[in-house]
A = this chain, B = another copy of it.
Amino acid sequence: MTVSSSDAPEFGMTTHRIEALTDGIFAIAMTLLVLNLSLPEMETELTQTVELHNLLIGQMHKFYIYALSFVLLAIFWITHHQQFHFIKRTDHKHLWINIFTLMFIVLIPFSTSLAGDYPKEWMAKFFFDLNLFILGMLFIWNWVYATKGHRLVDRSLDPQRIALGKKRGAVAPLVALLAMVVSLINPQFSSFVYLLIPILLSFPHFRHK
């Protein structure tokens, strides 16, 4: 957190700034997800009870999709901070990897709304999966770029930790890839594939000893 001016002597951009913008964008994207849950307004009072019941039940899949996207964004947010805990500097290319990452984070509420409104459409589900796949690839690229030859991390950073970061980072895009295949075969089930992400990440193989 201590931002010395030597962090950005020529470039004028610190990792602290990227983190602040990213935290803000994560907070807003996570909150906007819930706007998809908006109910249509009822017209007559008589039918309200029945309709409200049906509406809330009819929204079950939306609630699941909302909770899923929220948890996936939280996992990416944790990954972001674990990466930036070790990334000490930034450069021009690294900055733009991060900006493209933000672009696909911001797209998540739209993809979620698409997948929630059209649960049986392969195209909607595929769009959602593709968004997550690209996001996952950008996160792993961020880590590979920053750690290659200890480019933006401390020289003392343990190679095992670098490898663990790559292994953990590969989980999300691989699961998204699997979900893309399932979306083409049976779109209604593809959202459940993502439950693999928290399950796999909690395996001892993917955790720091």
Binding site for B on A (CB under 8 A): 1-3, 5, 8, 10-13, 16-17, 20-21, 23-35, 37-39, 41-42, 45, 48-49, 52-53, 56, 67, 70-71, 74, 77-78, 81-82, 85-86, 95, 99, 102-103, 106-107, 109-110, 113-114, 117-118, 120-121, 123-124, 127, 208
A74 touches B99 (CB 8 A): yes
State the copy count for this chain: 4
B127 touches A56 (CB 8 A): yes
> Interface residues of A: mostly helix, strand, loop or mixed?
helix
Are A31 and B32 CB-contacts (below 8 A) given A23-B21, A67-B103?
yes
- Candidates B5, B81, B120; contact of A13 at CB < 8 Å: B81
A118 CA / B123 CA spacing, docked (Å) = 26
A56 touches B123 (CB 8 A): yes
Are A12 and B86 CB-contacts (below 8 A) given A24-B27, A26-B21?
yes
- What's the least CB distance linking A55 to chain B, in Å? 10
List residues of chain B with CB within 8 A of the CB of A86.
Answer: 12
B34 touches A106 (CB 8 A): yes
24 chain-A/chain-B pairs, Cβ below 8 angstroms: A1-B1, A1-B2, A12-B85, A13-B85, A17-B81, A20-B20, A24-B24, A24-B26, A24-B27, A25-B27, A27-B27, A28-B31, A30-B106, A32-B35, A34-B107, A38-B110, A39-B114, A42-B117, A42-B118, A52-B123, A52-B124, A53-B123, A67-B103, A70-B102
